[in-house]
Amino acid sequence: MNYHGQSTSKIYQELNTSKQGLDSTEAEKRKTQYGPNELVQKKKISIFRLFLHQFKDVMILILLVAAVISFIVGDSKDTIVILIIVFLNAIIGFVQEYRAEKAMEALKKMSSLNATLRRAGTIVQVPATEVVPGDIVIIEAGMLVPADLRLIQTHVLKIEEASLTGESHAVTKSSDKITSENVPLGDRLNMAYKSTTITNGRGEGIVVATGMNTEIGRIAQLLQEDKVKTPLQKRLADFARKLSFAVIGICIALFIAGWLRGEQPIQMLLTAISVAVAAIPEALPAVITIALALGAKRMVRQNALIRKLPAAETLGTVSYICTDKTGTITQNKMTVNDCWVSPEAKAIDDYSPEQLMLLGMELNHDVTTDENNELVGDPTETALVDYTRKNNNYNPQWRTDFKRAYELPFDSDRKRMTTVYPFNGKWLVVTKGAVERLLSICPANKTEVINAKTEQFAQEGKRVLAYAIKEISELPQQITAENFEKGLSFIGLAAMIDPPRAESIQAITDCHAAGITVIMLTGDHPITAKAIATETGILQDATDMVVTGTQLAKFTDQEFQDKLDSIKVFARVSPEQKLNIVKALQNKNHFVAVTGDGVNDAPALKRADIGVAMGITGTDVSKEAADMILLDDNFATIILAVREGRRIFDNIRKFVKYILTGNSGEIWTIFLAPLLGLPIPLIPIQILWVNLISDGLPALAFAAEPAEENILKRPPRKNNESIFAGGIATHILWVGLLMGLVCLGTQAWAIHNENSKWATMVFTVLSLSQMGHALAIRSDIKSLFTMGIFGNKQLIFAVLVTLGLQLAVIYMPFLQSVFRTQNLTLSELALCLGLSSIIFWSVETEKWIKRLKKQSP
Ligand code: ATP
């Protein structure tokens, strides 16, 4: 439909709507008719396909080959058991992936955006998915357009449509009808398209298409996002690949050695295959996704919404946090409590300077009222409007007398906003903004007095806004900021308090203890910023510096590099400078989290290692660019998320340590036996069993391990630090070797004593050793007994279930014939338990030595 070529009245008619918007019953009706306003994602993979997907794993295929070989050599019992094991493996893999997927879906839903609509004459916010054709949408800088719109009103509206047209420059829009034919998408200036970005100004439009009927919907197939692997997953996948080669080498050696010793080749082949399957940690990537997704779910409960999964993993590495001030460090509850009118200010017509100040505060804002007559809008502006409306000299008539003709919306670069009104046959221009940005366009003022007053307010931590006004008889030819924002007369200042959040002070102390430097990047006045930074502890030492954007611009690269470490507050910085600061910190090898809310913050958020957007005050654009959203806009939430990130990483590390040590134990046992002149102690299905029970439940339970006590008292880990750092590689080797030796010791002892059940005993010792190991590595340093045995109930549950399964395999006659096990006497069982606990006690001793070393300087 050619909406751009039609007049707006025709479109109202066509879509059966009006300027006041649809009412809720009609909207509801249309929702059923048109469906949700969303781009349909790639066909969701069905549960059945997800299950089948598990069989694609190379290891599983190898096992299936093993099943076939068993069948050919006539061992159909083994074939069945291998098939059952394959099936169980697939179920475990499936459950793991399914949980991860569900958790991710839930997170995605939460990060969906809202749209501002006019429905039945009232402004309402609804989830963008509920927008229907005929709705009237209000858009402004920072938002993403929620649906395809025919614009009916624009105020310096600029939209960046690169996703549709490839043109990266923002296009200025208007509501005029386009008469020429065959206008390409990029030239339809009176249309706004779903998912494009509003970079400037404001506007209103009628929804003409939603969901897959929008222009972006038509090319939505191109936008399907692929699952991204986290850096750790990539590294581990790479590691697993290298390990596979090593393991396959070992298995070939094992096969040849056994063959030469005269073992049955088929049996040796099956053993070698089982060892390969057991030793390659194929479950690692899936379990990491679960740990991350579950961690991300926990973070949401603490108001940190992870948008990009890798962030959950890398949060623990953050060494620098660049935070903004308003709302994040402070409460964003502004109250104007000082208003100062310059003695130089002059009356215009009948309006005294005092009245002009109040008039300016009434006129120059984007605040609206909701159905309860409450002010809604930017807290700075609502505070100003609230103040003026409560003042005795305020005249309510102004609200209807002055009709806004033009506006030049606020942006963080100009730090000003201007509105224009017809005024007694002339025009009244009102500008408000940062003090120095107003003084520069008010030529005839004594700046010293104004600056002194500003400084006085700022030193009290107040945000100061200045007002200026002028009367002009003719409009400039073009409605641009440059044309209006000059030659104004200064009127006065409004100062407002915005107290720091009580939690910020503690959170900043926590950051310092956790080795994280916090700096403030703000658009506000340096003195205001300094006052708040001092109060919250961001500025601590005498050497800590406050630098303004203007000073920063004058620094040479070298000066900037040298001073960077001591600068704790950057005030009046532009979004571009924000980006440069982030880059400079990254060049110094810092892992940087950056908060932002405005449309201009998007580049810095994208560039940051962790971009953090504000859930309440943040623009859609900043949220889209961010890795994490603070649902409560609160700085303290960042450090909670960092804590959770560190915990997730710790737990992944414990899990890797657990799995690989177990695998190493299995390999040592089987590999060393022939070298020590012993028969290979485990048959293939026993190996597969040990692998299955140890990779399954206990491994998952590590994701539930609570954070270690000192988690926020240690420095952040290095970004590129290996997952095996901190002695994990040695641990895997020595504990695995010990496991192997204990198993082989058991075997040798039993054979020596002519105990025919030696195979069952080795099998039991190997399984139970893994459980003891799981319990012992819950902490890297603390003893299990000080941590509390029941500190991780899931792990206890996993250990008990595994123990139960192992007993079933030993004692149930049917399973005995499958696993070639024999009844152990109680004392034999107790002996196995005792022997397998050697691993537990050895790891406890390792931690004890670590504690001793830590105590002695
Ligand atoms: P903060 O760190 O406090 O959140 P910010 O970086 O978000 O600040 P901006 O919102 O860009 O800063 O504001 C920068 C300055 O612009 C403010 O200090 C104020 O002087 C001025 N300003 C803010 N909002 C408006 C507005 N709506 N109209 C005019 N000027 C404004």
- Do 493 and 339 form a contact (C-beta atoms < 8 A)? yes
Tokens of 744: 């082989």
What local confidence, expressed as pLDDT, does residue 44 receive? 62
Between CA 452 and CA 203 the distance in angstroms is 39
Q: Which residue, by CA, sits nearest to atom 3 of ligand 1?
A: 326
Structural domains of the chain, ranges and CATH numbers in brackets:
3-41+107-212 (2.70.150.10), 47-100 (no CATH), 231-303+641-855 (1.20.1110.10), 311-331+501-633 (3.40.50.1000), 335-497 (3.40.1110.10)
324 is catalytic: yes
**The CA-based dihedral angle spanning residues 560, 566, 569, 570, taken in that order and rounded to the nearest 10 degrees:** 0
Mutate to test the pocket of ligand 1, among 361, 524, 594, 597 (most ligand atoms within 8 A of CB): 524
Mutate to test the pocket of ligand 1, among 329, 334, 380, 630 (most ligand atoms within 8 A of CB): 380
Q: In terms of Cα–Cα distance, which of 572, 530, 566 is closest to 550?
A: 572
Q: In terms of Cα–Cα distance, which of 758, 693, 668 is closest to 247?
A: 668
Between CA 7 and CA 788 the distance in angstroms is 73
Report the run of H or E that residue 383 belongs to, with start and end: helix 379-389
Distance 194 CA to ligand 1 centre (A): 28
Shortest-distance atom of ligand 1 to CA 411: 11
How far apart, in Å, are the Cα atoms of 191 and each of 152, 175, 187?
A: 9, 8, 9
Q: Which residue, by CA, sits nearest to atom 4 of ligand 1?
A: 326
Residue 121 CB: number of other CB atoms within 10 A?
12
Shortest-distance atom of ligand 1 to CA 330: 3
Shortest-distance atom of ligand 1 to CA 365: 27
Report residue 422: phi and psi, to 5°. -65, 140
For residue 773, pLDDT beyond 90: yes
- Do 206 and 17 form a contact (C-beta atoms < 8 A)? yes
Instruction: Report the chain's C-alpha Rg in angstroms.
Output: 34
Q: Alpha helices, DSSP H only, in 73-204?
A: 76-110, 162-165
Mutate to test the pocket of ligand 1, among 410, 463, 488, 521 (most ligand atoms within 8 A of CB): 410
- Do 629 and 296 form a contact (C-beta atoms < 8 A)? no
Q: In terms of Cα–Cα distance, which of 821, 812, 832, 727 is closest to 769?
A: 832
Tokens of 478: 């073009």
Report residue 196: phi and psi, to 5°. -85, 165
Shortest-distance atom of ligand 1 to CA 522: 2
Between CA 447 and CA 426 the distance in angstroms is 29
Q: What is the residue whose two structure tokens read 């309440």?
A: 616
Q: In terms of Cα–Cα distance, which of 800, 801, 775 is closest to 788?
A: 775
- Do 133 and 144 form a contact (C-beta atoms < 8 A)? no
pLDDT category at 352 given cuts 50, 70, 90 is very high
Distance 523 CA to ligand 1 centre (A): 6
Q: Which residue, by CA, sits nearest to atom 5 of ligand 1?
A: 523
Mutate to test the pocket of ligand 1, among 321, 436, 465, 518 (most ligand atoms within 8 A of CB): 465
> What is the average pLDDT across 449-460?
92
What local confidence, expressed as pLDDT, does residue 222 receive? 45
Pocket of ligand 1 (CB under 6 A): 324-326, 378, 380-381, 410, 412, 415-417, 432-434, 463, 465, 522-524
Q: How confident is the model over 399-444, as pLDDT tens digits?
A: 899 999 998 988 878 899 999 999 989 999 999 999 999 999 998 7
**The CA-based dihedral angle spanning residues 85, 91, 93, 99, taken in that order and rounded to the nearest 10 degrees:** -160
Distance 172 CA to ligand 1 centre (A): 24
For residue 223, pLDDT beyond 80: no
What local confidence, expressed as pLDDT, does residue 218 receive? 76
With a CB cutoff of 8 Å and minimum separation 6, the contacts of 174 are: 151, 154, 157, 189, 190
> What is the average pLDDT across 258-278?
81
Distance 616 CA to ligand 1 centre (A): 16
How far apart, in Å, are the Cα atoms of 109 and each of 104, 212, 308, 309, 497?
A: 9, 18, 13, 14, 36
Distance 524 CA to ligand 1 centre (A): 6
What local confidence, expressed as pLDDT, does residue 314 receive? 86
Q: Which residue, by CA, sits nearest to atom 31 of ligand 1?
A: 433
Pairing of strands 567-571, 517-521: parallel
For residue 342, pLDDT beyond 60: yes
Local structure of 743: helix, strand or coil:
helix
- Pick the range with the lowest mean pLDDT from 181-185, 418-422, 666-670, 740-744: 181-185
- DSSP structural state of residue 287: H
Q: In terms of Cα–Cα distance, which of 534, 523, 526 is closest to 500?
A: 534
Between CA 247 and CA 278 the distance in angstroms is 10
Q: In terms of Cα–Cα distance, which of 488, 489, 497 is closest to 465?
A: 497
Q: How deeply is 524 buried, as exposed, middle or buried, from its count of CB atoms within 10 A (0-12, 13-18, 19+)?
A: buried
Report residue 9: phi and psi, to 5°. -65, -35
Q: Which residues of 298-327 are buried (b: 16+ CB within 10 A; e: fewer)?
A: bbbebbbbbbbbbbbbbbbbbbbbbbbbbb
Q: Which residue, by CA, sits nearest to atom 8 of ligand 1?
A: 523
For residue 226, pLDDT beyond 50: no
Q: What is the residue whose two structure tokens read 């009244």?
A: 428
What local confidence, expressed as pLDDT, does residue 446 receive? 76
Percent of the chain whose pLDDT exceeds 70? 95
β partners of residue 423: 426
DSSP E strand boundaries for 110-217 = 114-119, 122-127, 136-140, 148-160, 171-172, 191-192, 197-209
For residue 248, pLDDT beyond 60: yes
> What is the average pLDDT across 490-495?
95
> What is the average pLDDT across 237-260?
83
Q: Which residue, by CA, sits nearest to atom 26 of ligand 1?
A: 410
What local confidence, expressed as pLDDT, does residue 857 receive? 62
Catalytic residue among 324, 510, 524, 597: 324
Percent of the chain whose pLDDT exceeds 90? 38
Q: Alpha helices, DSSP H only, in 445-556?
A: 447-459, 481-484, 502-513, 526-536, 549-554
Q: Alpha helices, DSSP H only, in 282-329?
A: 284-301, 309-314
- The shares of helix, strand and coil residues in the chain, as percent rounded to the nearest 5, are 55, 15, 30
Q: How confident is the model over 497-532, as pLDDT tens digits?
A: 999 998 899 999 999 999 999 999 998 899 999 999
With a CB cutoff of 8 Å and minimum separation 6, the contacts of 850 are: 780, 781
Shortest-distance atom of ligand 1 to CA 432: 29
Residue 74, Ramachandran bin (φ over 0: left; ψ between -120 and 50: alpha; else beta): left
Local structure of 728: helix, strand or coil:
helix
Residue 145 CB: number of other CB atoms within 10 A?
26
Distance 345 CA to ligand 1 centre (A): 24
Between CA 85 and CA 694 the distance in angstroms is 13
Between CA 36 and CA 57 the distance in angstroms is 37
How far apart, in Å, are the Cα atoms of 310 and each of 102, 288, 306, 344?
A: 17, 11, 9, 57
Shortest-distance atom of ligand 1 to CA 521: 2
The vertex-328 CA angle with 322 and 329, nearest 5°, equals 85
DSSP 527-540: HHHHHHHHHHTSS-
End-to-end Cα spacing for the chain: 78
Report the run of H or E that residue 319 belongs to, with start and end: none
Positive or negative, the CA dihedral 323, 507, 655, 94 is negative
Distance 492 CA to ligand 1 centre (A): 17
Distance 572 CA to ligand 1 centre (A): 9
Report residue 137: phi and psi, to 5°. -105, 140
- Do 472 and 429 form a contact (C-beta atoms < 8 A)? yes
Q: Which residue, by CA, sits nearest to atom 6 of ligand 1?
A: 523
Tokens of 232: 């750790």
> What is the average pLDDT across 131-157?
90
Q: What is the mean pLDDT of the chain?
A: 86
Q: Which residue, by CA, sits nearest to atom 12 of ligand 1?
A: 523
Q: In terms of Cα–Cα distance, which of 236, 246, 159 is closest to 200?
A: 159
What local confidence, expressed as pLDDT, does residue 808 receive? 93
Report the run of H or E that residue 602 belongs to, with start and end: helix 602-607
What local confidence, expressed as pLDDT, does residue 247 receive? 83
Between CA 723 and CA 33 the distance in angstroms is 53
Shortest-distance atom of ligand 1 to CA 524: 18
> What is the average pLDDT across 242-261?
84
Shortest-distance atom of ligand 1 to CA 415: 16
User: Which range has the top average pLDDT, 56-70, 80-94, 273-287, 775-789?
Assistant: 775-789
Distance 582 CA to ligand 1 centre (A): 20
Distance 431 CA to ligand 1 centre (A): 14
pLDDT category at 224 given cuts 50, 70, 90 is very low
Report residue 518: phi and psi, to 5°. -110, 125
What local confidence, expressed as pLDDT, does residue 240 receive? 76
For residue 96, pLDDT beyond 80: no
Q: In terms of Cα–Cα distance, which of 224, 230, 225, 226 is closest to 287?
A: 230
β partners of residue 375: 369
With a CB cutoff of 8 Å and minimum separation 6, the contacts of 674 are: 257, 258, 261, 680
Between CA 366 and CA 331 the distance in angstroms is 21
Query: Counting every residue, how long is the chain?
Result: 857
Report the run of H or E that residue 624 belongs to, with start and end: helix 620-625
Report residue 212: phi and psi, to 5°. -70, -10
